[in-house]
């Protein structure tokens, strides 16, 4: 029996027992009419599908994001590992487990990245854009440091938003210098900083800090619209000229590039065009990092839905 075996080290034939995060859970009915639980277990090293046969509850979708203790065996189904769970329960207050082994965390120095973001905000030369950013940072500082940037796909780990935004601001700073005769550096940096801050309200989070679902405002409005609304509110409070307020709102509303990718409007100024590319670059490079990290050298990954179904090659 292997205890608290990391997901990445699981192999067919392993008997396991330990604590894992219940990433997803769906109650279903088998062909024989008996209920079963289809779930995904995860830790900081990865995730694995699992089944609890002949299981009517009580654990279900409402428990997603919580820690469970399981006992089971690892097998293989359609070329992928799968855990058949024999026993499962929610972790209790008296249980002892290492949270840092369960929750994926950004591979960054958080304090250094936060300091880098603050330094770039301080370097904004336009007083109005800087004032809006300072108020945004005051409002969102705690969540900005800690929350994931997504439920899945990219930066879906603790401190993911800080990593994503910090990387993007460094790239924005570089590109603003390269295209200084075309791009307003202050506007680009302000828009880059503000673009995803409302993910704090768009998502619901587990007690461990991971994203479990979208909130009602997140589904009805989304972080782009809520972000633009907050900018408009702050700009009005600070008496920022309307055109600057609208330009900054435009960068947030258009940063997904095209409506089919979630943009509320298409980019129509140099800074919004550039921001949409910067966002795409950092998102896609993180997907490559995560997928290639789980792909053997010289091999191809499974199809990556977020990259148009491509199989990625992990070269030397």
Task: Give the C-alpha separation, 75 to 80, whole Å.
Answer: 8
What is the pLDDT at residue 210?
85
Say what the pLDDT of residue 187 is: 98
Alpha-carbon gap, residue 226 to 253, rounded angstroms: 9
Centre a 10 Å sphere on the Cβ of residue 20 and count the other Cβ atoms it contains.
Answer: 28
Residue 86 main-chain phi, psi, to 5 deg: -95, -35
Considering the entire predicted model, what is its pTM? 0.83
Look at residue 293 in the predicted model and tell me its pLDDT. Answer: 86
Backbone angles phi, psi at 37, to 5 degrees: -110, 125
- H helix and E strand count, the chain: 10, 10
Which two structure tokens, joined as six digits, stand for 304?
């990556």
Residue with tokens 């998102």: 283
Largest interatomic CA distance in the chain = 69
pLDDT given for residue 299 in this prediction = 92
Average pLDDT per 10 consecutive residues for the chain, totaling 316 residues: 92 96 91 93 91 93 92 90 96 90 91 98 98 98 95 86 98 98 98 98 90 93 98 98 98 96 96 98 94 90 90 94
Calculate the dihedral angle through the C-alpha atoms of 60, 102, 201, 197, rounding to the nearest 10 degrees. -160
What letter does residue 158 receive in the DSSP assignment? B
How far, rounded to the nearest angstrom, does the alpha carbon of residue 18 sit from its chain's CA centroid? Answer: 26
- What residue ranges define each of the domains in the chain, with the CATH number in brackets? 2-101 (2.40.50.140), 104-291 (1.10.3210)
Tokens matching residue 222:
């989304």
In the chain, the N- to C-terminal Cα span, in Å, equals 35
User: Tokens for 148?
Assistant: 């994931």
């Amino acid at each position: 029996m292997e205890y608290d075996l990391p997901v990445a080290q699981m192999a067919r034939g392993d008997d396991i027992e330990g604590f894992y995060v219940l990433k997803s859970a769906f109650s279903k009915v088998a062909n024989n009419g008996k209920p079963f639980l289809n779930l995904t277990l995860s830790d900081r090293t990865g995730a694995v599908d699992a089944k609890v046969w002949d299981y009517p509850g009580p654990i279900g979708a409402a428990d997603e994001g919580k820690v469970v203790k399981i006992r089971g065996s690892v097998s293989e189904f359609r070329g992928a590992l799968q855990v058949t769970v024999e026993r499962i329960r929610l972790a209790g207050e008296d249980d002892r487990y290492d949270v840092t082994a369960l929750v994926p965390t950004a591979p960054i120095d958080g304090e250094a990245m936060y300091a880098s973001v603050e330094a770039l905000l301080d370097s904004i030369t336009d007083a109005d854009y800087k004032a809006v950013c300072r108020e945004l940072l005051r409002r969102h500082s705690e969540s900005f440091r800690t929350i994931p940037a997504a439920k899945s796909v990219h930066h879906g780990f603790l401190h993911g938003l800080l990593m994503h935004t910090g990387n993007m601001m460094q790239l924005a700073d570089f590109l603003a210098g390269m295209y200084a005769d075309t791009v307003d550096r202050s506007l680009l940096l302000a828009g880059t900083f503000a673009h995803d801050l409302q993910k704090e309200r768009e998502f619901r989070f587990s007690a461990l800090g991971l994203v479990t679902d979208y909130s009602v405002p997140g589904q009805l409005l989304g972080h782009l619209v809520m972000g633009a609304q907050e900018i408009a509110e702050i700009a009005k409070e600070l008496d920022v000229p309307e055109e600057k307020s609208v330009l900054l709102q435009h960068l947030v509303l258009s940063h997904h590039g095209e409506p089919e990718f979630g943009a509320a409007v298409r980019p129509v100024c140099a800074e919004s065009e550039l921001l949409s590319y910067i966002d795409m670059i950092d998102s896609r490079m993180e997907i490559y990092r995560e997928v290639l990290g789980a792909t053997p050298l010289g091999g191809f990954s499974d199809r990556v839905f977020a990259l148009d179904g491509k199989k990625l090659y992990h070269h030397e």
